[in-house]
Amino acid sequence: MIRTVDDNTWRRYSGVPLMVASLAYLVAYSWRVIGDVTGPIRPVLTIVIAVTWAMFIVDYVVRLLLARERSVWFRHHLPALAFALVPVLRLVRLLRFLTDLPGIKPTAGGALRSRILVYGVGASAILIYIASLAVLEAERHAPGADITTFGIALWWACVTVTTTGYGDYVPVTDAGQWVGVGLMFGGVALAGVITATLASWVAERAIHGQPDAHPATHGDVRALQEEVARLTALLDRPQTDPPASPPAAP
């Protein structure tokens, strides 16, 4: 039965509900942690978080089952796994409109770089925010903890993701330390992507205005091949005009 639906159809129908679920997850998690909610409202928020997270897990499993070659699909859809593990990362797709602004993608390479840069910065901001919530929830009531407010947690996340490491605030719980490990690895990966994108942009600007430095496109090669073929056909065409008679002797 599941084979009657392909991946594109599933994504078309699940896209909007998952985006709403991602927003609900973000609101519920932020409310529970920043507000330090207690009483009957806390279980409600926990249920919302669990249900929305389960929706992303189900989405990932269904898409994996729909794939004909699952190992290949897994390797080529790592962002889908990231969305399943951290549902709010799906909100990065809302930044897509920034890549459609006039003048932001003058070339095909520029379009790709702008998309990577926008998504990379958006993912970094979401990663910092979620890590701040996670470490605050783990540390707030722990004995000897100094990360007890959202402001301190946000400062710690910014320092950690940039690998600055001032050491003025450190997590003391196992959960908080694991959040730090994930944040460090995620920060290094995102920083590498953003740095490589900026380096590519600088390299393109450096060769701008030097025609010989620009590689030929497929269109340029095709046009050159057509011109060579046309000239070859002209050279191979048989001579139909009679040869000119020699000039008369005086």
Compute the distance between CA of residue 67 and CA of residue 71 in angstroms, rounded to an integer: 9
* Crossing angle (nearest 10°) for helices 108-139 and 174-206: 160
**pLDDT tens, position by position, 174-203:** 999 999 988 888 878 777 766 776 666 666
79 band by pLDDT with thresholds 50, 70 and 90: confident
Q: Are 113 and 96 in contact (CB under 8 A)?
A: no
For the record, the structure tokens of 250 come out as 């005086």
Domain ranges of the chain: 1-76, 86-208
Q: Which residue has the higher pLDDT, 68 or 44?
A: 44
2 band by pLDDT with thresholds 50, 70 and 90: very low
**Smallest Cα–Cα separation from 121: which of 92, 80, 101?**
92
Q: What is the pTM of this model?
A: 0.67
Please state which CATH number belongs to domain 86-208.
Answer: 1.10.287.70
Compute the distance between CA of residue 156 and CA of residue 138 in angstroms, rounded to an integer: 13
For the record, the structure tokens of 203 come out as 């390299």
Compute the distance between CA of residue 160 and CA of residue 158 in angstroms, rounded to an integer: 5
Compute the distance between CA of residue 116 and CA of residue 101 in angstroms, rounded to an integer: 15
- Kindly give, in sequence order, each residue whose CB lies less than 8 Å from that of residue 236, ignoring residues fewer than 6 positions away: none
**pLDDT tens, position by position, 131-153:** 999 999 999 989 988 999 999 99
